[in-house]
Amino acid sequence: MTKDEHDIYIELEVQPVSHKRRLSAFLRKEMGISGNCIRRAKTYDNIFVDGQPEHTDYILSSGQLVGIIVPDRSTKSIISGAEMQLNILYDDDYLIAVDKPFGVLCHPIMEVDEDTLANGLKHIYPNMGIHPVSRLDRDTTGIVIYAKNSIVHHKMTQTEIDKKYIGMVLGHPSNGEGTIDMPIARVPGSTMLRHFDPDGKSSITKFNILYKGHNASILLFTLLTGRTHQIRVHCKESGFPIIHDTLYGIESEYDRYLTRQALHSYETSFIHPFTNEHITIKSPLHEDMLLLEKAIKEKPLVND
């Protein structure tokens, strides 16, 4: 058995309904393991039946115990560690959540391969696999979740995750709550910008007004889809852009309170795919958005 402290061993008993099923099919259908994970586990003889390594062509019998380990060799060798101050919001054997500050990327890209959250995690846990379950724009703050193993990552892609954001916008939605159902696509000729496009990908955002000032509002957003810049584009197209959004917003008197868009990943919840616990992770507003919140509330709406 080839396993280090951050690799995860998962096992499941074969039920009568899976009697005489091929091991490879059991791993995929009953255990939810991706084909890529299975291939990597085979490379290191990390697939077991009743504690013994077996080939994926093996025919199972009811009552047997199937186990698998997937080493994260590729992830461990690619990302370098970088010392940084990280606020860890949640940590268990499977997942870790970090409170992301603004101005920091979640994961290395071609132009930036250090000083990202992933580099910081690699410094703390040098032998841990780092697989982003969620991401945030560089200048959005709050909760980012990473899986510690590719099996966990695959399971999380099949898990319903409830994501809530707090945003501060110019103007007011016409209703106290609502749903923005507006397809989004990449702007032709741009690698970054997105816009409303009837032929774009389905994009749905729910919102509730938490506070309404005389020329700005504080909103709670719930994402039903997860497109790039979704909340920012939906707010712009709906007539209440995010404050200090340099891509999709407009200048305002509130720009002096912060140097990035006023958007924060506030709460994330899900049923843990391995422990079956209901997990809720929260991140309080960062200092710059607290200052902006105070400024908005100092100018209440006269006629609501």
CATH number at residue 33: 3.10.290.10
* Separation of alpha carbons 159 and 21, rounded Å: 25
pLDDT for residue 178 is more than 60: yes
- HEC letters along the chain: CCCCCCCCEEEEECCHHHCCCEHHHHHHHCCCCCHHHHHHHHHCCCEEECCEECCCCCECCCCCEEEEECCCHHHHHHCCCCCCCCEEEEECCCEEEEEECCCCCCCCCCCCCCCCHHHHHHHHCCCCCCEECCCCCCCCEEEEEEECCHHHHHHHHCCCEEEEEEEEEECCCCCCEEEEECCEEECCCCCCCEEECCCCECCEEEEEEEEEECCEEEEEEEECCCCCCHHHHHHHHHCCCECCCCCCCCCCHHHHHCCCCCEEEEEEEEECCCCCCEEEEECCCCHHHHHHHHHHHCCECCCC
Which residue has better confidence, 90 or 122? 90
Same domain flag for 270 and 208: yes
What confidence score (pLDDT) does residue 74 get? 44
For residue 302, name the pLDDT band (cuts at 50, 70, 90): low
What confidence score (pLDDT) does residue 80 get? 82
Range 52-62 average pLDDT: 93
Tell me how many domains the chain contains.
3
User: Which pair of structure tokens corresponds to residue 233?
Assistant: 């584009």
Q: Rounded to whole angstroms, what are the CA distances from 4 to 38, 69, 120, 126?
A: 18, 10, 20, 12
Same domain flag for 133 and 176: no
Structural domain range at position 129 = 74-157
CB burial class (10 A; 0-12, 13-18, 19+) of residue 148?
buried
Same domain flag for 45 and 65: yes
What confidence score (pLDDT) does residue 158 get? 86
Same domain flag for 175 and 264: yes
Same domain flag for 51 and 98: no
pLDDT for residue 1 is more than 80: no
Residue 304 belongs to some domain of the structure: no
Residue 253 belongs to some domain of the structure: yes
* Separation of alpha carbons 169 and 241, rounded Å: 5
Altogether, the residues listed in the chain come to a count of 304
Same domain flag for 136 and 253: no
Which residue has better confidence, 155 or 73? 155
Residue 127 belongs to some domain of the structure: yes
Range 95-115 average pLDDT: 83
Q: State what percent of residues in the chain have pLDDT above 90.
A: 65
* 149, 8 Cβ separation under 8 angstroms: yes
For residue 71, name the pLDDT band (cuts at 50, 70, 90): low
Residue 265 belongs to some domain of the structure: yes
Instruction: Tell me which of 135, 157, 179 is where a domain ends.
Output: 157
pLDDT for residue 303 is more than 70: no
Residue 171 belongs to some domain of the structure: yes
Which residue has better confidence, 111 or 96? 96
User: Which pair of structure tokens corresponds to residue 218?
Assistant: 């504080």
Q: State what percent of residues in the chain have pLDDT above 70.
A: 91
Instruction: Tell me which of 117, 134, 157 is where a domain ends.
Output: 157
Residue 57 belongs to some domain of the structure: yes
Other CB atoms closer than 10 Å to residue 177's CB: what's the count?
11
Same domain flag for 171 and 284: yes
What confidence score (pLDDT) does residue 30 get? 82
Please write the tens of the pLDDT for every residue from 236-293: 999 999 999 999 999 999 999 999 999 999 999 999 988 889 999 999 999 999 999 9
What confidence score (pLDDT) does residue 72 get? 55
Same domain flag for 171 and 245: yes
Instruction: Tell me which of 20, 51, 71 is where a domain ends.
Output: 71
* Separation of alpha carbons 263 and 283, rounded Å: 12
Rounded to the nearest integer, the mean pLDDT of the chain is: 89
What confidence score (pLDDT) does residue 7 get? 64
What confidence score (pLDDT) does residue 29 get? 83
13 DSSP β-pair partners = 65
Same domain flag for 188 and 200: yes
Residue 302 belongs to some domain of the structure: no
Same domain flag for 103 and 211: no
Which residue has better confidence, 2 or 269? 269
Please write the tens of the pLDDT for every residue from 107-139: 877 555 678 998 999 888 887 778 899 999 999
Residue 149 belongs to some domain of the structure: yes
CATH number of the domain to which 127 belongs: 3.30.2350.10
Which residue has better confidence, 6 or 219? 219
Same domain flag for 145 and 235: no
Please write the tens of the pLDDT for every residue from 196-225: 999 999 999 999 999 999 899 999 999 999
What confidence score (pLDDT) does residue 75 get? 47
The overall pTM is greater than 0.85:
no
Same domain flag for 27 and 103: no
